[in-house]
Structure 1
Amino acid sequence: MKKIILSAIAIMVFTFSNAQETRFGVKGGLNLTNFAGGWDTTIKAGFHIGGFAEIKVIERMAIQPELLFSTQGARYSMDGGNNGGYYKLNYISVPVLAKFYVTKQFTVEGGPQIGFLVSAKNEGRDIKDEYESTDLGFNFGAGYNFTDNLAIGLRYTLGLSDVLNKDYYNDYDNVRNSVLALNLSYKF
């Protein structure tokens, strides 16, 4: 799997090396996450942080690969009461977005994402084996550029793959990650 990812990154770098302009940046922000599908859970707050490259393809279009550390998961309650806890899932996420500049300030974006599970915990107990090691999703969002360097963005990631390992949870189908992310980014 690592060879495939490294090969894909090398191909992207080679393919876009003749692009008009490439800028690098850092970003971070708030995640509001939950499980979509068969589990009765509620929103859990988390964060994401990482870097990106914005590779201009044409004047109003760019490709933006990112490498992010993202905390995800969900809250749950026991027996409908106030007792409960958190599923805390940490991922290394690699979205590759097509970014369109509607105006110089306003952008819209969309594209696929693969996430690699780093850790999974429930009230301090390691539950990583109970979850799939990779997570596929699709992102769509919008952004606003305050300056040439500083921007804010809002993105929704729709999980496309089941996050539960069927060896542990064969009674649940189609439980997917659902992430709403608000971020602040800075381009160099």
Structure 2
Amino acid sequence: MKKVILTAIVGLAANFASAQNINFGIKGGAVFNTDKGEVWRDAGDIFKRDGKASAGFQAGVLSRISLAGIYIQPELLYTQFKNDYDVPADATSNDVNTRFSVTKKRIDVPVNVGKRFLGIANVQAGPVFSYYFDDKISVKEFTAAKQDEFNVGMQIGAGVEVSKLLFDLRYEFGLGKLGTEIVNGNNREFNTQNRPQMLNLTVAYLF
């Protein structure tokens, strides 16, 4: 899948390399993960608890191809965010036994189509293809036994363009759920599940 994503980016660049209205740039910014997710223990029949969403970041490169009043903007981004979870001591107690977080690291390939208006503003939408390559657990006694690696989502957003600077705000939602299987030091199994829902606030510079 990673090869497919990289091949798609190279293919897009090759197809439009001879176009006059093409720009390349770099971008970065903050991501705000608004999906709290859930965690359960022992195959889901003991308890569930909501996770707490948190902020992260993303950075990478982009190209923008202008065609007949619209533009196509493929990007290649590194994105990182986390979810925090409180695990109670047992099924009947509200006392917190363990708090842990899962930091997700992924490679994103959004391909948005946008339309400019009023000279400086734009609206945009398109799919985002994500490859999750690492789930890091904050508690040393916990290890990630298995994780989902691929997901497809959609992005919609708006932006402002000032000279060569692009300021974008996008809402992203996953079309599927992602899970992580976790094993603690006592060989107890935990499972987390999330459907990505994020606000991405970024700034880009076009060369």
TM-score (structure 1 length as normaliser):
0.83
Structure 2 SS opposite 1:104: coil
2:80 — aligned with what?
71
What is the 5 A alignment of 1:29-178? 29-35=29-35, 38=38, 40-58=50-68, 60-79=69-88, 84-125=99-140, 127-145=143-161, 147-164=162-179, 175-178=194-197
Kindly state the Cα deviation for residue 8 of structure 1 after the two structures are TM-superposed.
2.4
Distance 1:34 1:74, change over 3 A: farther
Larger radius of gyration: 2
- Tell me the SS of whatever aligns to 2:35: strand
SS in structure 2 at match of 1:5:
helix
Closer/same/farther in 2, CA of residues 128 and 50 from structure 1, 3 Å limit: farther
Name the structure 2 match of 1:184: 203
Contiguous gaps of at least 5 residues in structure 2? 40-49, 89-93, 184-188
SS at match of 2:176: coil
CA contact (8 A) 2:16 2:65 kept: yes
CA distance 1:176–1:69, shift in 2 (3 Å):
same
The answer as to whether partners of 1:36 and 1:177 remain within 8 angstroms in 2 is no
8 Å contact kept, 2:100–2:139: no
Shift of 1:74: 1.5
The aligned counterpart of 1:4 is 4
Tell me how far 1:10 sits from its aligned partner.
3.9
2: CA distance between counterparts of 1:45 and 1:96?
23
1:11 aligned counterpart, secondary structure: helix
Evaluate the alpha carbon distance shift between residue 42 and residue 36 of structure 1 in structure 2; reply closer, same or farther with a 3 A threshold: closer
Q: Whole-Å Cα distance in 2 between the matches of residues 120 and 167 of structure 1?
A: 10
Cα separation, partners in 2 of 1:71 and 1:137, compared to 1, 3 Å = same
Backbone CA RMSD of aligned residues? 2.8
Write the distance in 2 (CA, Å) between the matches of 1:25 and 1:81. Answer: 50
CA distance in 2, matches of 1:110, 1:18: 25
2:19 is equivalent to residue 27 of structure 1: no
- For the 8 Å contact 1:44–1:86, the answer to whether it is kept is no
Deviation (angstroms), 1:5: 2.6
Residue deviations 1:33-76 (CA, integer Å, cap 9, x gap): 14365551222111111110011112x31000001110123122
Distance 2:149 2:177 in 1: 11
The offset of 1:166, in angstroms, is: 7.8
